[in-house]
Structure 1
Amino acid sequence: MAKAYEDLRSRRTVFVTVGTTCFDSLVRAVDTREVKEELFKKGSTHLLIQIGRGSYIPTKSTGEDRSLVVDYFTFSSSIADYLRSASLVISHAGSGSIFETLRLHKPLIVVVNEDLMDNHQSELAEELAERKHLFCAIPQTLFRTISDMNSGSLTPYQPGDATPVTKFVNSFLGF
């Protein structure tokens, strides 16, 4: 029991999520030798990739060759536990995934899918990156973002208070 607890405590997992979409270019980017080596060099021990509807299958690894342990899955009824146990999250630019991760105060790299039309998600990711709540990348710049990132430079996200807006709307509607 003590060994299992120590193993869990020493595990540093990078969790990658693409949501319910197909974002093979993100999965391919994290599955490169250079990205995995950089994550390992920065102290990560495990890489767990949620591949969604994608067709690209990443390479699994047991870590026996002194490298990252790599595993993947398609979908889960909830990714909350994966987010909570991660030491770093690499996510698509969906607002749900972004804000759920930020509320947990986890370091976050948001990777924008440039293949989407009218990509309003990139605006959200870029704004939050400018405010230093997360790092922003595209699949082609993910390695550089990981190698350059300093989690200590991030500013914790503080959710806003919607009470004044709710009061105004209720007043306007006569409630």
Structure 2
Amino acid sequence: MKTVFVTVGTTSFDELIERITSSEAVQALKARGYERLVLQVGRGSLLPAADSCPHITLEAFRFKDSIADDMKQADLVISHAGAGSCLEALGAGKPLLVVVNDKLMNNHQLELAKQLHMDSHLLYCTCSTLTETLTTMDLSVLQPFLPGQPKNFANFLDKALGVQ
């Protein structure tokens, strides 16, 4: 069963959960052949019920000790733009769509997403463009993120955050 795994990490990103479970987003996923949607909703106020998304199998949870199995089973990972979640998805070798929370102030997430997008490792959007992105995205353009280069990622993150 073709699966999408959505993660917000340990944070709260209710807008992403609302958008990905909207009828428009679910229709876009179904049109691409996805049949199962697994949501890790973190500290958010939303925990959608299994029957809240007709036409797609929905599972939702707040936290687990590890989401590695969820990522491994996914055909597509949709993540908030947290560095840890992005790195875990890229390390698992999964196509990654990052949804940047554009409501955060002093947002470093956009810079991280843009850089990794320029290197063709992921696609990114905001909540307001999520459905359009799901409809038009071309996952075949994505390049594997080569493991074993944590120093390069750390250097980039330091530079993006102005530490270096």
Give TM class, smaller chain: 0.7 to 0.9
Q: Partners in 2 of 1:103 and 1:74 — Cα distance?
A: 22
Instruction: Give the aligned CA root-mean-square deviation in angstroms.
Output: 1.9
CA deviation after TM superposition for structure 1 residue 139, in Å = 0.6
TM-score, structure 1 normalization: 0.80
CA deviation after TM superposition for structure 1 residue 61, in Å = 2.9
Q: Is the 8 A contact 1:62 1:69 kept in 2?
A: no
TM-score, structure 2 normalization: 0.86
Equivalent residue runs for 1:24-103 within 5 Å? 24-61=14-51, 67-103=55-91
Instruction: Select the structure of larger CA radius of gyration.
Output: 1
- Seq. identity, %: 43
Q: Is the 8 A contact 1:31 1:59 kept in 2?
A: no
Q: Is the 8 A contact 1:14 1:46 kept in 2?
A: yes
Q: Partners in 1 of 2:126 and 2:60 — Cα distance?
A: 21
For residues 108-131 of structure 1, give each alpha carbon's deviation from its aligned partner in whole angstroms, at most 9, with x where no partner exists.
100011122211122111111122
Q: Partners in 2 of 1:81 and 1:57 — Cα distance?
A: 20
* Unaligned ranges ≥5, structure 1: 1-10, 164-175
Q: Is the 8 A contact 1:23 1:54 kept in 2?
A: yes
How has the CA–CA distance of structure 1 residues 33 and 161 changed in structure 2, closer, same or farther, with 3 Å as cutoff? closer
CA deviation after TM superposition for structure 1 residue 162, in Å = 4.4
How has the CA–CA distance of structure 1 residues 99 and 161 changed in structure 2, closer, same or farther, with 3 Å as cutoff? closer
- Provide runs of 4+ in structure 1 moved above 6 Å: none
Give the paired residue count. 151
How has the CA–CA distance of structure 1 residues 161 and 60 changed in structure 2, closer, same or farther, with 3 Å as cutoff? closer
